[in-house]
Amino acid sequence: MSEKIRVLLAKPGLDGHDRGIKVIATAFRDAGFEVIYTGLRQTPEMIVNAAIQEDVDAVGVSILSGAHMTLFPAIKRLLVDRKAGHIILFGGGIIPEEDVKALEAQGIDKLFTPGATTEETVAFVRKAVAGRKDNEKIM
Amino acid sequence: MTVLDKFLAGDQSALARIISFIEDREDGYQDLLARLYPKAGTAVRVGFTGPPGAGKSSLVNCLTKLLHSRGKRVSIIAVDPSSPFTGGALLGDRIRLTDLPMDGTIYVRSMATRGSSGGLAAATNNVAIALDAFGFDYILIETVGVGQVELDIVDTCDAVVVTLVPESGDAIQALKAGLMEIADIFAVNKADRPGSKNIIAALEMMLDIKSHKSEWKYPVVPTEAINNKNIDVLFDKIDAFIEYSVRTGYFENHRREQIKKKIISILQYRLNELVKDRLTGMADLDGMVLEIYNGQSDPYTVSDRLFEMSRVK
């Protein structure tokens, strides 16, 4: 019946700047998504554990601390290790262009930098999720 | 290997997928539930309800850690509201549920109400069946922040904890119908704040009248979730209620009553769908609307006619 898109939004590490992720959470909510917001100071393990339990379609991570080259690959690796590599991983933050390229090459689906609009972000996730297909038989 | 096979082997990813399948009412979800029902029935379900911001999630968090320390497997269903305007939802209960152990014995699922107005989602009950069948000892179910009349939790749980705060009101509020009637246990959270003695006294007076008619002495437990204070007392009361409930037969009667209501609600849902189906096939519905609009008929007469025409034969 309903095919609600579920998105987990999280902030990893010791970064308390959560204004951005709250704006994003509100934008996704207003676009009709179910947003699971985990709050601050999450480890990659906590984020991936929550993503699996909540059976989300996408995980969005906000990093403003400069630790993006460590945290994004760590989250991606854990998702793959736990057979949840199908979950879209996107993020945002103050990330230099060469780092964006490097991370996207490592399988992070999309990174948004300052100036990106909420509409772009929502449209990206909607499209990315629609492109997937779940072939596993339930019973 | 199907998702159900993995579920039966104890895989939490498969549990998560199965819950979505049930929640989204995907084709065949009834058949799936038919497979799960026989495996369910052993988990104890405890409901937490009360006004927004009373500390339901924080109490559930403390209680989960306590149960975990005693070797219990615990699952949590945390419900938050869907927007009636966009269908979107912000599910924020996990903010209070962060430092739970990740050893595979705890499972947390956030649910949006998706149009239900009783404090839970329509699928919460079915999701609890899945969690029960998966093998959890406890299912803790947390409603949206409620007012006085969102009481679906009663039909979903074995014990209900109503969570209040010192600011929740005076003796007259405590006497009102609705929320105050459904508690098996009261928790007055944030009990370190001024006014907690007053509300506890008001509740105890109300409960004193109620307890005359019942063997169960309704407890009021002052708690401070933020300081992890009195959580063991709260659990002892929940445990005592379940024990009392099983011993007196209330537990079984209540569950049977819940099953009866569940059957009725499934029938109502199917009849609803049937009525919608038949109505869309009736070309003269707009004509009847016009008759009413022009003052030549009324909605009751028209409904009688439609009912006759669409009667299930």
Give B230-280 pLDDT, tens digit per residue. 999 999 999 999 999 999 999 999 999 999 999 999 999 888 888 877 776
Band the pLDDT of A1: cuts 50, 70, 90. very low
**DSSP-based helix, strand, coil % in chain A, nearest 5:** 40, 20, 40
CB B254 within 8 A of CB B154: no
Average pLDDT over residues B185-197: 95
Average pLDDT over residues B195-220: 90
Which chain A residues are within 8 Å of B31, Cβ to Cβ?
A: 139
The angle, 0 to 180 degrees and rounded to 10, between the axes of the packed helices B124-134 and B12-23 is 160
Q: What is the pLDDT of residue B37?
A: 97
CA dist B22 and B9 (Å) reads 19
* pLDDT tens digits, B102-116: 999 999 999 999 999
Domains along the sequence of chain B with CATH:
39-248 (3.40.50.300), 262-310 (no CATH)
Q: Mean pLDDT lowest for which of B32-36, B169-173, B193-197?
A: B169-173
Global pTM reads: 0.93
* pLDDT tens digits, B128-144: 999 999 999 999 999 99
Q: How many CA atoms lie within 13 A of B167 on its CB side?
A: 7
Q: Mean pLDDT lowest for which of A34-43, A102-111, B146-155, B168-177?
A: B168-177
Place of tokens 């006619």: B305
Domains along the sequence of chain A with CATH:
6-130 (3.40.50.280)
Q: What is the pLDDT of residue B312?
A: 56
* pLDDT tens digits, B33-60: 999 999 999 999 999 999 999 999 999 9
* Residue B143 DSSP code: P
Q: Does B209 touch chain A (CB under 8 A)?
A: no
How many CB atoms are located within 10 Å of the residue B169 CB?
Answer: 16
Average pLDDT over residues B298-312: 83
CA dist A86 and B5 (Å) reads 20
Which value does ipTM take for this structure?
0.94
CA dist B230 and B53 (Å) reads 19
Q: Taking an 8 Å Cβ-Cβ cutoff, which residues of chain A contact chain B? A: 1-4, 6, 25-26, 28-39, 41-42, 45-46, 49-50, 52-55, 82-84, 136-139
Q: What is the pLDDT of residue A134?
A: 73
Q: How high does pLDDT run on average in chain B?
A: 93
In angstroms, the Cα distances linking B269 to A10, B84, B230, B265, B272 are 37, 20, 42, 6, 5
Q: Which residues on neighbouring strands pair with residue A123, listed in sequence order? A: none
Measured between CA atoms, the residue of chain B closest to residue A42 is B98
Are A55 and B20 a contacting pair at CB < 8 A? Answer: yes
Strands A110-112, A88-93: pairing kind: parallel
Which range of B23-27, B205-209, B278-282 scores highest in mean pLDDT? It is B23-27
> Chain B window 2-21: which residues touch A at a Cβ cutoff of 8 Å?
2-4, 12-13, 16-21
The percent of residues above 70 in pLDDT, for chain B, comes to 97
Phi-psi region of B114 (alpha: psi -120 to 50; beta: other; left: phi over 0): left
pLDDT at A13 over 90: no
B21, B25, B88 ranked by CB distance to A29: nearest: B88
Q: What is the DSSP string of A23-71?
A: HHHHHHHHTT-EEEE--SSB-HHHHHHHHHHTT-SEEEEEE-SS-HHHH
A25, A26, A138 ranked by CB distance to B2: nearest: A138
